[in-house]
């Protein structure tokens, strides 16, 4: 049932719309919205960019793992995860055990279009030209798909409106 209390995790590449959709779904359900990056920033009292600079990606992934371990215990939450969250440690398994996982799937070209405007705020892509960005996304997506594909539900993020997602979730859960 949709109105069960277990968390709903939105997963997918940077720029796939996890936070926007997450806010909408949480409002629809009357649940709490958690953006995992914001949760980490509040915990660590620093921006993601600073955390990457100070502790490297490995340090950040440890913080992300700790944050996720807290969030999986919560009830009635919609969680927008970071693009890399499912691909480290046993994070994907943890989310699948704790609740529902929804993968917002997009093509590399669509991701480039969405990511170019706010690129400076994302440390993994901040310095890339549009061509480099397309190359990076194509490669990274290939590496990450095996984890993303473990989601309980996969949805084409290009086609669907937030209202359509609500419908899909009601059917699926
Ligand atoms: C990352 C995605 C970011 C953030 C960090 C690393 C990634 O989250 O966690 O910059 O590895 O794809 P968003 O997907 O919310 O941008």
Which residues neighbour 131 within 8 Å (Cβ) at sequence distance 6 or greater?
none
Contact between residue 148 and residue 95 where contact means Cβ atoms under 8 Å apart? no
Ligand 1 pocket, mutate which of 122, 137, 139, 142 (most atoms under 8 A from CB): 122
Mean pLDDT, consecutive 10-residue stretches, the chain (173 aa), reads: 78 95 91 97 97 97 98 97 98 97 96 94 94 97 98 88 77 68
**Res 94: pLDDT:** 98
Query: What is the rounded CA–CA span in Å between residue 77 and residue 63?
Result: 20
C-alpha angle 11/147/157, rounded to 5°?
40
Pairing type for strands 77-80 and 153-156 reads unpaired
Which atom of ligand 1 is least distant from the CA of 49? 10
Tokens of residue 81, six digits: 């995860």
**If you ran DSSP here, which 8-state letter would residue 152 be given?**
S
CA of 125 to the centre of ligand 1 (A): 10
CA of 111 to the centre of ligand 1 (A): 13
């Amino acid at each position: 049932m949709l109105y069960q209390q277990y968390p709903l995790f939105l997963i997918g590449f940077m720029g796939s719309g996890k936070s926007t959709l997450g806010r909408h779904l949480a409002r629809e359900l009357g649940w709490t919205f958690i953006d995992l990056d914001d949760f980490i920033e509040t915990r660590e009292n620093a921006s993601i960019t600073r955390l990457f600079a100070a502790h490297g990606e490995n340090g950040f992934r440890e913080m992300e793992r700790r944050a996720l371990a807290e969030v999986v215990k919560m009830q009635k939450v919609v969680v927008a995860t970071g693009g890399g969250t499912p691909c480290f440690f046993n994070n994907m398994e943890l989310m699948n055990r704790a609740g529902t996982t929804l993968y917002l799937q997009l093509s590399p070209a669509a991701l480039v279009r969405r990511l170019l405007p706010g690129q400076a705020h994302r440390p993994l892509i901040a310095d890339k030209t549009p061509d480099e960005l397309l190359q990076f996304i194509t490669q990274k997506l290939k590496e990450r798909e095996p984890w993303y594909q473990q989601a309980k539900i996969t949805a084409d993020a290009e086609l669907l409106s937030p209202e359509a997602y609500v419908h899909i979730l009601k059917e699926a859960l």
